[in-house]
Amino acid sequence: MLGTGTLNGIRWGCGHVRSLAVSWLAACLLLALAVPHAVAQGVTVQAVTEAQDCFVGDSFVFQIQVSGIDTAAAPDIKGLNDFQVEELGGQKNNNTSMTIINGRVTRNESRGFTFSYRLTPKRPGTLTIPSVEVVAGGNRLRTRPLAITARQPTESPQFKLRLELSKATCYFGEPVVLSVTWYIGEEPRAVEFNIPVLSSPDFAVIEPDLDFDRGRQYVKLPLAGREVIAEQGSAQMDGRAFTTLTFQRFLTPKTTGELSIPQATVACTVLAGRRQTRPGSPRNPFFDDFFGQTRQGDYRRVVAPSNALTLKVLPLPEQGRPSNFAGHVGEYTIETAATPTEMNVGDPITLTVTVRGPEYLKDVSLPPLDRQPALAQNFKIPKEMAEGKVDGKRKVFVQTIRPLHVEVREIPAIELPYFDTKTGKYSVARSAPIPVTVHRAKQVTALDAEGLGPVTSNGKELERWGRGIAYNYEDLGLLLDQRAGPEVWVKSPVWLALLAAPPLIYLALLLAAASVRYRRADPDAAKARRAQPALVRSLGEVRRKLSEPQAQPHTAILDAIKDYLGAKLRMAPGALTFADVEPELARRGVPAAELAALKDLFFHCEAGRYAGGAGASDPGRLIDAALVFAKAAERVL
């Protein structure tokens, strides 16, 4: 009997050596006539890993595979204490196949469910993934323990990672800035950061708001299942030039003492060499000849460790602590403004309180105004306080208050107690009092509304009322015959002009507004139409500056192609990568050969940028390649 093979997911075989056409015809007839036979399977479970030898800080995929049933309860994996665990979710793993052996057709059905996790070793040595219990189909099953060898990463010449704190000693509740800088000497791929302090229970971690500068470069990096925006720069270390990527996080200590900030790692894949590719692979022939690349790259995994840090956190002293201290740590100032400053009793006053303090103000709150004794004594204050809004380096709170009596002469100073980390003592920030004028509320009568008050005779002639409702009263004798109508209007040029002017003006404004709306309805469309000429101009400028010693042509070419793609695809160009644009370009019909050309273009431009120009491709040819791609893409986009 011949061995079995695979064709379109169906396993097949025949008992005698026949021609392929006859065998296939017989198989089709048997499939149509035979009665399938289901193969039952029991419920089993097993644990598998992507790797059994890895570095500390470098993650791998761990799976719990259930077979025989496609539903199972999520297992309890709290026993993996030597690993950081990230749940990747679960999915069904069902499969159906047909087998034909000696005319017998058997239908094979398999059902399963897979739970996936990403594990990151915390320490070096032989680590054990313990047995995990899984409940499936009413059965309690357990996986076998697995042994993982975790090695301590060593710093490589190509990549370095550094952690830096804004200060080495702080007080409880005082935010400090953690800066993470990655030094890059080669082009990295498949980047993965592991920064244990960001998940430490000893700190509250806050992501700062970024103030983007168009004169700087930014790159998206993966971090804990999300993306972080890092600022690109350059630096020298150990006599070598590196490209740097830096991002920050605010760390607010939640306990006191010597807090450890453990070593972080960054893992990436780098090119180790190239091997000959298979003939006939789908590549753009222009780029094959242009870059001379007919070999596929071999990559290796590199893990770069960082330094470890220690932060000394001092407790807040009990001596001198104000009774209304609300946990503000740092150096604060407070200002107030009020509108209006003249009002009646009970009228609303908009009180604006501006707080300035540490660099991070997002979580800073204002102490309740109803606990300010001088303010609560003379004003009605709602218990609900509006949330403040961060505006640059200040936070603004807006609250409505109402004066209670006419003796109020000012809005008193608002106090904000805080602990001054510079002096090590408690202090109180106070705003300046705001003078106000409060009038007694007047009772309005019907005579006031009509404009009629007490009538007295002073011997003078009666005059027309100048206030109140009576102001509108007139003697009937003032009524004149002032007939008006179409027969009067057509006889007067002034009336005709007045009648025609409004519709003409309205029509002109309507046409002007329609024209403006048409132009502004889709400004991105106009930007997309100008994208190719802008690319040609930018690349022409790069070509003219190739001879300058300070020129960075690879970066400039990459920025130009990013701006072009951002305009065409309506994306922000700053941190675009090939992975960002590939799905949208493919959806719009850009051929696979052109996508391969664009990928090569990104590769060589990024290689030139990160390698500082050493061994990089000729910029002039990269410019030609970018123009060729844009011309081809225009036909589709």
Q: What share of the chain is helix, strand, coil (3-state, %, to 5)?
A: 25, 35, 40
Range of weakest confidence among 17-31, 123-137, 532-546 = 17-31
Specify the pLDDT at position 340.
93
Please give the Cα distance from 211 to 142 (Å, whole number).
51
Share of the chain above pLDDT 70, in %: 78
* Residues with Cβ within 8 Å of residue 123, at least 6 apart in sequence: 56, 82, 150
Strand, coil or helix: 189: strand
Run of H or E residues at 582: helix 578-587
- What pLDDT, on a 0 to 100 scale, did the predictor assign at position 507? 86
- Token pair in block for residue 448: 């006031």
Global pTM value: 0.55
Highest mean predicted confidence (pLDDT) among 35-39, 41-45, 255-259, 615-619: 255-259
Predicted confidence at residue 225, as pLDDT, reads: 74
| Main-chain phi, psi angles of 137, to 5 degrees | 60, 35
Q: What is the pLDDT of residue 499?
A: 73
| Range in 28-32, 402-406, 472-476, 508-512 with the lowest mean pLDDT | 28-32
Span 478-500, pLDDT tens digits:
444 555 566 665 667 777 777 77
Q: What is the pLDDT of residue 21?
A: 41
What average pLDDT does the chain have? 79
Q: What pLDDT is recorded for position 445?
A: 57
pLDDT digits (tens, 9 = 90+) for 263-294: 999 999 888 776 665 555 554 544 444 444 55
Q: Work out the percent of the chain whose per-residue pLDDT is above 90.
A: 30
Report how far apart, in Å, the C-alpha atoms of 492 and of each of 481, 489, 498, 502, 547 are: 18, 5, 10, 17, 78
Phi and psi angles of residue 78, each rounded to the nearest 5 degrees, phi first: -70, -10
Angle between helix axes 619-634 and 553-569 (nearest 10 degrees) is: 10
Cα–Cα distance measured from residue 634 to residue 604, given in angstroms and rounded to the nearest whole number: 22
- CA-closest candidate to residue 598, choices 613, 615, 610, 586: 586
328 or 615, higher pLDDT: 328
Phi (first) and psi of residue 132, to 5 degrees: -115, 130
Report DSSP letters for 446-515, one per residue: HHHHHT-------SSPP----SSGGGG---GGG------SHHHHTT-HHHHHHHHHHHHHHHHHHHHHHH
pLDDT at 454: 53
Over residues 111-131, the mean pLDDT reads 91
Tokens at residue 514, please? Answer: 């329609």
Q: Residue 451 has what pLDDT?
A: 52
DSSP symbols for 50-70:
S-SEEETT--EEEEEEEES-S
Cβ atoms of residues 380 and 387 within 8 Å? no
Residue 464: alpha-carbon gap to chain centroid:
70
Higher pLDDT, 435 or 357: 435
